[in-house]
A and B are shown apart, each in its own frame.
Chain A
Amino acid sequence: RKEVEQDPGPFNVPEGATVAFNCTYSNSASQSFFWYRQDCRKEPKLLMSVYSSGNEDGRFTAQLNRASQYISLLIRDSKLSDSATYLCVVNSGKLTFGTGTRLTIIP
């Protein structure tokens, strides 16, 4: 079983829609969690850290469920500029990335 699993997509959604991504992890000792965004042929950049209490940044909401070992990312009122690949990242002493979920927002 992979340490971090994501649905690779692609997700093609109309502008203004709400889209949700999930990610599961296998190491119960994992201590911190992140969502990164990667644009085509660029390096990944931090989108949000993920906390047990959940956290929100504008249109983006991230949640962590330790009991079920999954993290989620919700994007509301999606914009064309949200088109990218979204990577979940788990830190268990080393940073392990999911395969990424490709999102395309359609005008």
Chain B
Amino acid sequence: DGGITQSPKYLFRKEGQNVTLSCEQNLNHDAMYWYRQDPGQGLRLIYYSQIVNDFQKGDIAEGYSVSREKKESFPLTVTSAQKNPTAFYLCASSFQDRGAEAFFGQGTRLTVV
């Protein structure tokens, strides 16, 4: 089945540790996105990539890093520099065509204690 997969679904980390969230898609999509959602809030863009080996900062990139070494994969690292990392993280992908819809993974709930 084609789709976009995020893992793990729930993640707990101690404060001060870096953590990497996985996002894989087999839809042959060019563009991939990472969003953060806090309770009762909308989605805020962290990073996005429109092509392999290239990515751009979104609105809240500080404290995060990404890589796009393969078309299928766009991992997000939440570093210890991120002040409030506890949130729901959503990965999405789409074709490059601006009229194309984005498909989302099921999300990762990160809790930092």
Query: B80: CB under 8 A from chain A?
Result: no
CB of B41 within 8 A of CB of A99, answer yes
Name the prevailing secondary structure of the B interface residues. strand
| B90 vs chain A, min Cβ distance (A) | 6
Please give, as numbers and ranges, the residues of chain B lying within 8 Å of A94 by CB-CB distance. Answer: 33, 45, 48, 56, 58
Which B residue's beta carbon lies closest to that of A34?
Answer: B101
Comparing B11-19, B70-78, B102-110, the segment that makes contact with chain A is B102-110
Query: A66: CB under 8 A from chain B?
Result: no
Query: A73: CB under 8 A from chain B?
Result: no
Query: B92: CB under 8 A from chain A?
Result: yes
Q: Which of B42, B90, B99 contacts A100 (CB 8 A)?
A: B42
Please give, as numbers and ranges, the residues of chain A lying within 8 Å of B25 by CB-CB distance. Answer: none
CB of B99 within 8 A of CB of A32, answer yes
Query: B94: CB under 8 A from chain A?
Result: yes
Interface size on A, residues (CB 8 A): 22
Name the prevailing secondary structure of the A interface residues. strand
CB of A87 within 8 A of CB of B33, answer no
Interface size on B, residues (CB 8 A): 24
Please give, as numbers and ranges, the residues of chain A lying within 8 Å of B100 by CB-CB distance. Answer: 32
CB of A97 within 8 A of CB of B43, answer yes
CB of B48 within 8 A of CB of A44, answer no
Beta-carbon contacts under 8 Å, A63-107 to B: 87, 89, 91, 93-100
| B66 vs chain A, min Cβ distance (A) | 14
Nearest 4 pairs of A and B residues by beta carbon: A99-B42, A43-B104, A97-B43, A31-B98
| Interface residue ranges, A against B (CB under 8 Å) | 6, 31-32, 34, 41-46, 49, 87, 89, 91, 93-100
| Interface residue ranges, B against A (CB under 8 Å) | 33, 35, 41-45, 48, 56, 58, 88, 90, 92, 94, 98-107
Name 10 extra pairs, CB < 8 A, besides A94-B33, A95-B102: A6-B42, A31-B99, A32-B99, A42-B106, A43-B107, A46-B101, A49-B99, A95-B33, A97-B35, A97-B42
